[in-house]
Structure formats: C-alpha cells, structure tokens
Chains A and B, each alone.
Chain A
Amino acid sequence: MKDNNAMQPVLSENLIEVKDLQKYFKGGEIKALDGINTEIKKGEVVVVIGPSGSGKSTFLRCLNLLEVPTGGQIFFEGVDITDAKTNINLHRQKMGMVFQLFNLFPHMTILRNLTIGPMKLQKKSKEEAEKTAMELLARVGLADRANAYPSQLSGGQKQRIAIVRALCMKPDVMLFDEPTSALDPEMVGEVLEVMRDLAKENMTMIIVTHEMNFAREVASRVIFMDNGMIIEENTPDELFTNPQSERLKNFLSKVL
C-alpha cells in the first residue's frame, strides 16, 4: 500500500475514482445507477443530493461494495476494488461507513462496539484500542456512556457512537448514508456538529443527505443525482444559487 503522508499536497490526489459505474436490479429492468463518473480528492467533503429513488444511496453503498456494481470500475487509493481478485475486506477498513439506522451491535457495550474492529482486524491491544476509543468518545461528549449498551442511548447518541465506531478504524474516507434521516428533529444538530468537526479536520467525507443547509455549509462540492445519473456537480454556492438544469431547479424549489 502507498504511504498517504508522502502524497502531499493532499487536494491534488484522487482518493476515489469512479468510472462508468452501473448498478442494475432485476436483470437490467431497474437502472439504479446508469453510468456514474466522478473523482473524490483527499480532504474533499462531497455531498450527494437528489430525490428519493435517484440512486444516491446505491451510489454510496457501491463505493465500499456493500452493493456489488453491475458494471464499471471503482478505484480506491489506486486499487480497482471492483476487481474480483481484490480483497475488499482490507480496503473497507479504510472506508468508514455510517448508516441511517445506526446499526450498532446491540449485544455489546459501547466500548466493545468501538474496539472490536481495531482489536480483531488491526490486531491492536485492548489497552491501545480502548485508549483511542475513549479519546474519540470524549470528543463527541459521550465518554460517560462507554459501558452502556446501545439500547440505553438516544438516537442522536447512537449515531454519534456509530460515527466514532467508524473513526476508531482510522479510515481514509467516511461514507454517510442519510445519517440524520432517522433522528428526531432535536437530535439532528448534535450529529451534524460531529460531522462539521470532522470536515474541519480535513477528513474526506461523502455524505448522502437531505439537510440542504448543512450541505451548503460544509460541502466542498455538491453532486445532484436523478434517475441513476449525475445531473450536476458544483460548489455548493454555485449549485444552490445558480442551478443549470430544469430537474435541479425543480428539485430545489421543492426542498429549499
């Protein structure tokens, strides 16, 4: 594997390259992704927006192969992960993922949720893994819940823990699949706050969300998808104030 620190300046390096990505369901009847091309550079915060059914979640889930693409290629850190010979498990350790429904492991304490990955996969000692976990927990303000079980937490707390669980693996990119969609409105803020901090620390992030204000604030680039295709991509200021296509204008008029 390449040494990431040697690849300065960070913004010039393509972390992820997507080439003509396709995902069909039911033998081609449904084209969830119909030829996606894009690059994600190190340190970029890319927000993907679009109407429901536009394929934005499928796109995100293809990036770490939770959905196996029907066609096209995805290069992650220079390696074609869609190649059947690639061991995807190794690359997934470098791609943190946060789900809409948190998906914490209910039979483990919070601390165990956070340390099982580093301990089993990266062969970290218990002390080392717990030290990292406690530091990150403290940063999201949940250090006192380390020995609680997921069922004892609120939705917002669960999602913050889920973000920390992904961060404990020291990923190079974080994928967020509608991280605030299942939360009560008063809990959305605390999760966005954590994500905002991450963005400030130059974490590469790809975020599927309906939070347009958040997208405007943190995104370095916004991608608008519809019918499995990228319709427009631009800086948030340009994209929101000066939409080019009819579809984006139509979409923005409904959500803003």
Chain B
Amino acid sequence: MILSGIWEQISTFFVDLWITVSTFFIDFGTDFAHQFYLAFIKDDRYMHLVTGLQNTLIVTFFALLLGVVLGVVVALVRSSWDKNHETMRPGIGKSLLGFFNGLCKVYLTVIRGTPVVVQIMIIFFVIMASSNNKILAGVIAFGINSGAYVAEIIRSGIMSIDGGQMEAGRSLGFNYTQTMIFIILPQAFKNVLPALANEFIVLLKETAVAGYVGLTDLTRGANIIRSITYQSFMPLIGVALIYLAMVMFFTWLVGKLERRLRSSER
C-alpha cells in the first residue's frame, strides 16, 4: 500500500518532468536561437555575465588567499596548543599560546555557527557601513569564512602526521617552527589536498550569495538579464554551465597536482 503510493509519487514526478522538458522543446525548440539572442547578444547583455564572472573570480581568488593564510595560522596555533600544552613549561609563551588558542576557538565557533549570507551582510551593512566597496566586503567576508574551514582541514592534516616526525626533526636540532615548515606541513598539505580542493570549490560557488549586498557576481549577472528579458531559462542554465565548467577545470587541475605529489613517493 505505502510502497505503491511512493511509486505513484515517483512516477508522477517523472511524468511532470517529462512534460516540462518536452513542453520547453516544443515551445522554444525552434526558437532557441532567438532566445539565446535575447538573453545574451542583444544590447550586449552577455556583458552582465562577463562583469559578473570577473567579480566572482576576483572575490574567490583573494578570499582564497586570505582564507589560506588565516587557516594556516589558526591551524598552527590550535595544533601547537593541542599537542604541547601538557608538556610546556609555564611562562609567558604558554599563556600567550593559550590566549591565542582561545581566540581561534571563538573565531571558529562564530564563523562556522552562522550562515555566510548573514556574515557578508554584517560585514557590508554593519562593519563597513561607511564604505561602498562591495568587492572588498566580499573578499573579507568570504576570506574570513573560508579561513575557518581551511583551518580545521589543515589542523586535521597536521594532527594526522605521526608524532615521530616531529621528534625526528627536533632530534636533528630543528626548532619547532623549522620542523613544522620543512617536515610536518609539506606532509600535512599533501594529505589534505583533496579536502582543501573541495573547500575551494565550495568557496567559488558560495560567492553566488554576494548578490545579497548588491555585488554583481556571476549569479547576479544572470539575474539582471532575467529581469530584463523575463526569460529565466537561458541566463540561469548559462551561469550554471559556467560554474560547472570552472569547477571541472579546477578539479582537473587539482587531480594533476595530486598525481604529481603522489608519484614522487613511488
């Protein structure tokens, strides 16, 4: 009884889908070129997408830089504290590290506990209320947001490296920082590369909410076209394909890097 009900719902869904798709092709199929012309060519409307793509890439790139720098610093503070606070000699160094560790924990909790849309609106409308620099607001908001996730990814990478590696580095005479730079971080980075790549993809797509503060990113570019032509299909499918192409290109790039890092060990 229940099963047949579900089956009915599923089949209805597919029938509806088929009707939608076929209606589209029947109504617009012969008219495809004209629709394309209206959405992108006429009055140089594709420029909305070009501007949007530019802004999306600028925001993503600089947010990425900010996120990685923030992430590495926070990860180093957190993992240094976690691994050493029990054995550290009491003193200024320990108190300072403890303080920064607390600060990092607050940062992680707040950023990961609130939606990025809210964060970017707070940055633009509250903190940067006197400025109208939307790109800067975007870079800061997405950078700070991404940093929290990158920090946890890199921290997991650092914690995954066997303790013997740190001991071996220290026993040669490297100090803590040198051992981190030469020995721990290169291995940690390689281990978390897939997770990092995933975070970068998320970041690229997440910038789509920048339209909330009026930043003309790729998604908002499509929305502008939509509001001019009153046609949704072309601009939305268009940007979806552009996002997809970028993500696929990036995935391919990371795959190449991963293979290269791995092959060096065989």
Chain A interfacial positions (CB closer than 8 Å to B)? 64, 66, 68, 84, 89-90, 92-93, 95-97, 99, 101, 103-107, 116-117, 120-121, 149, 151-152, 165-166, 169
Contacts and interface: CB of A to CB of B under 8 A. Distances in A.
B178 interface: yes
B89 A92 contact: no
A229 B175 CA distance: 31
Contact of A169 (B162, B173, B175, B186): B173
Given A101-B164, A105-B168, A107-B265, 9 more contacts: A66-B170, A92-B171, A95-B171, A97-B171, A101-B162, A103-B162, A103-B167, A106-B187, A106-B265
B259 interface: no
Contact of B164 (A64, A103, A120): A103
Interface residues of B, number: 23
A120 B170 contact: no
Interface in B125-162: 162
20 contacts: A68-B87, A68-B89, A84-B89, A93-B172, A93-B173, A96-B171, A99-B164, A103-B162, A103-B164, A103-B167, A105-B183, A105-B187, A107-B186, A116-B172, A116-B182, A117-B172, A120-B174, A149-B266, A165-B172, A166-B171
Contacts of B265: 106-107, 149, 151
Contact of A66 (B162, B167, B264): B167
Contact of B264 (A68, A92, A96, A149): A149
B173 A99 contact: no
Query: A66, A93, A107 — which one has the most chain B CB atoms within 10 A of its CB?
Result: A107
Nearest to B175: A89
A121 B22 CA distance: 71
B171 A64 contact: yes
Nearest to B169: A105
A233 to B, nearest CB: 25
A92 B178 CA distance: 14
A89 B182 contact: no
Contacts of A117: 172-174
A90 B173 contact: yes
